[in-house]
A and B are shown apart, each in its own frame.
Chain A
Amino acid sequence: GENVEQHPSTLSVQEGDSAVIKCTYSDSASNYFPWYKQELGKRPQLIIDIRSNVGEKKDQRIAVTLNKTAKHFSLHITETQPEDSAVYFCAATGSARQLTFGSGTQLTVLP
């Protein structure tokens, strides 16, 4: 089945700096890659997603890039703010028809 690895597990940045979280996947048939944000004690919520026919997608301060050849995709957050502090999960949907999540990245934005 699909295996999604996510790095780093923790990330601290200064407010205003950029943050990058990287994920790799194993199933070459995977074609949908969402990113979820989970604040402490809350439910995961979708922040951005990308499909395999697109290499990059942006939504204001958030962007996701996909490299199908290398089987990796990344989340980029620019001009980070304290409210960006949360756990971020990447995920992939592949041939097994299951959404497989990475293990999460705890992002802390320092004031």
Chain B
Amino acid sequence: NAGVTQTPKFQVLKTGQSMTLQCAQDMNHEYMSWYRQDPGMGLRLIHYSVGAGITDQGEVPNGYNVSRSTTEDFPLRLLSAAPSQTSVYFCASSYSGGLWETQYFGPGTRLLVL
């Protein structure tokens, strides 16, 4: 199993550009989520999904969109990138227990917005 994979590993954007961060898992996990990690602030939840077709907002959802058309994939879209979105983004998945189970993190995407 590849586990949780993310692409790209690193991306540079200009302010106002849009892009999609890809996340996929091959463990048949129902629960998937996106976090951003900023220095000194831990990981903050952006959006999460409890299954295909179901998504919900986390702590910091503004400026991001998600969709969940399949169990395997959970892309994160930046609609109009801003310097404040410079961060490291982690995708995570877990079994049906969701937040009350082990979160398996992807390797992360480092995003720089100029």
Q: When the two chains form the complex, which single residue of B44, B59, B100, B108 contacts A32, counting CB atoms closer than 8 Å?
A: B100
B99 contacts A93, C-beta separation under 8 Å: yes
A contact patch SS: strand
* Chain A residues bordering chain B, tally (CB within 8 A): 25
A104 contacts B42, C-beta separation under 8 Å: yes
* Chain B residues bordering chain A, tally (CB within 8 A): 21
Nearest chain B CB to A41 CB, angstrom units: 9
Residues of A contacting B35 in the complex (Cβ-Cβ under 8 angstroms): 101
Within 8 A of A (CB), among B84-108: 90, 98-100, 102-103, 105-108
Residue of A nearest to B44 (CB): A101
Residues of A contacting B40 in the complex (Cβ-Cβ under 8 angstroms): 9, 103-104
B105 contacts A43, C-beta separation under 8 Å: yes
